[in-house]
Amino acid sequence: MELLNVLKRLRQRPQGKIILLVFDGLGGLPREAGGPTELGAARRPNLDAVAREGVCGLLDNVLPGLTPGSGPAHLSLFGYDPLVFDIGRGLLGALGIGFPIRPGDLAVRVNFCTVDPKTGFVTDRRAGRIPTETNEKLVAMLNAGVKIPGCEVFVRTEKEHRACLVLRADGLYDGITETDPQTTGKEPPRPVAATDARSEKAAAIVAEFARQAAAILKDSHPANNLLLRGYARFEKIPLLTETYDMRFAAIATYPMYRGVANLVGMDILPDAGDTMESEFACLERHYADYDFFFLHIKKTDSYGEDGNWDAKVHVIEEADKLIPRARALDPAVLCVTADHSTPCVLKMHSWHPVPVAIASKYERPDGVQEFTERACASGGLGRLRGIHLMPMLVANALGLEKYGA
């Protein structure tokens, strides 16, 4: 991509460290007319201090009106245009379970399903949401049983009826039709076909996998077959370490975020633990070893998805209390933002832009006094695409030369 190539030309050793705190799904909406958002309702003295000392704005991590999935949203925050780097669902599934994906791998989403033994028609596309333990047994049977010459086959459990398939061989492309009929009681799993010439090899392998899997599963009612969709070849992506002259570390409790960070060349710190507190402790332990830290806070999103207003407000307040630990490290640049909005009133990701604050010795304060969506909307950064955040952070650490003379 053009911008990444330009940045690569301008890279130079930065003069300080950068901490990027991403509150997943932070953006919200008022629950009553005239009321505050979740963020607006929270006591957040430390977030407000970052906003007051820095410069604020709003970010669109895809484009205005487009609701970002977690993968695309993080790619955007890391400076990759998610409309260019279109990471397919199969791949996000593999990243989500921490599968060590390699360039050229073909990742596929798997749903265990129920088919009528007589007609072969799909009767339940989720096999009654089998328990994850059942899923694990079926996955073990598939890994033991499927044999495809010249192709490595990896099946991994996600959760309930969902699993992930990774095929590894030369020349696997993802122009392949999905087998999920998207209806029940009317047709069997659809046949696999290539939609372009270069995907014919992969289509043949996927068809063979589907055939062997059906045979292996046929007596395992209710999950007596599977459906395949979301094919995604993993194309190598330019690494952050190639673009910038910096060492990048990711601190995240969920595999998905570790996966995306790893994809773009961050080192995944293994001792992040599973609480916000343990993540900040991890940041402190490793602070000397990297130039850039991505610290991901998950819970804000989870409570938004649940529609649990009080819990979302509470977790913002708890995270706010940890911010002084990041500030005490005295980074050149401290940035607080989100990947997307997850308003409690919607109980899902939304298209609303996310607030951002960048505190740095070299930013221009803009008079914004608090870290809320509304206050950030009148900030000095204005409203920007999320892909522009990363160059601004690196610029503030003096890690980019000027463009042209």
Residue 248, sorted as left (phi over 0), alpha (psi -120 to 50) or beta, turns out to be beta
Residue 262 touching its own copies (CB under 8 A)? no
Q: Whose structure tokens read 């706010």?
A: 320
- C-beta of 118: minimal distance to its own copies in Å? 35
Residue 1 touching its own copies (CB under 8 A)? no
Residue 32 touching its own copies (CB under 8 A)? no
Q: Which stretch binds its own copies (CB under 8 A): 13-21, 157-165, 217-225, 338-346?
A: 338-346
Selected binder of its own copies within 8, 45, 86, 144 (CB under 8 A): 86
Burial of 9 (0-12, 13-18, 19+ CB in 10 A): exposed
Residue 402 touching its own copies (CB under 8 A)? yes
Q: Within its chain, how far is the Cα of 191 from the centroid? A: 31
345 and 35 in contact (C-beta within 8 Å)?
Answer: no
Residue 193 touching its own copies (CB under 8 A)? no
Residue 83 touching its own copies (CB under 8 A)? yes
Q: Which residues contact 58 (CB under 8 A, 6 or more apart)?
A: 353, 354, 355, 356, 373, 376, 377, 379, 381, 382, 383, 384
Give the contact letters, 292-311, x = binds to its own copies (CB under 8 A), - = no: --------------------
243 and 286 in contact (C-beta within 8 Å)?
Answer: no
Residue 366 touching its own copies (CB under 8 A)? yes
Q: In 79-194, which ranges are continuous DSSP H helix?
A: 89-96, 132-145
Residue 89 touching its own copies (CB under 8 A)? yes
367 and 388 in contact (C-beta within 8 Å)?
Answer: no
Tokens representing 245 are 């002259």
Considering beta carbons, is residue 58 or 210 the nearer one to its own copies?
58
- C-beta of 68: minimal distance to its own copies in Å? 6
Q: Which stretch binds its own copies (CB under 8 A): 60-68, 112-120, 153-161, 170-178?
A: 60-68
Q: What is the spatial distance between Cα 166 and Cα 13, in angstroms, rounded to a whole number?
A: 38
Residue 259 touching its own copies (CB under 8 A)? no
Residue 352 touching its own copies (CB under 8 A)? yes
Residue 224 touching its own copies (CB under 8 A)? no
Residue 286 touching its own copies (CB under 8 A)? no
Give the contact letters, 112-151, x = binds to its own copies (CB under 8 A), - = no: ----------------------------------------
Selected binder of its own copies within 12, 13, 15, 64 (CB under 8 A): 64
209 and 216 in contact (C-beta within 8 Å)?
Answer: no
- C-beta of 179: minimal distance to its own copies in Å? 19
Selected binder of its own copies within 53, 200, 242, 245 (CB under 8 A): 53
42 and 27 in contact (C-beta within 8 Å)?
Answer: no
Residue 392 touching its own copies (CB under 8 A)? yes
Nearest by Cα to 240 from 249, 232, 251: 249
Query: In angstroms, how far is the first alpha carbon of the chain from the final one?
Result: 23
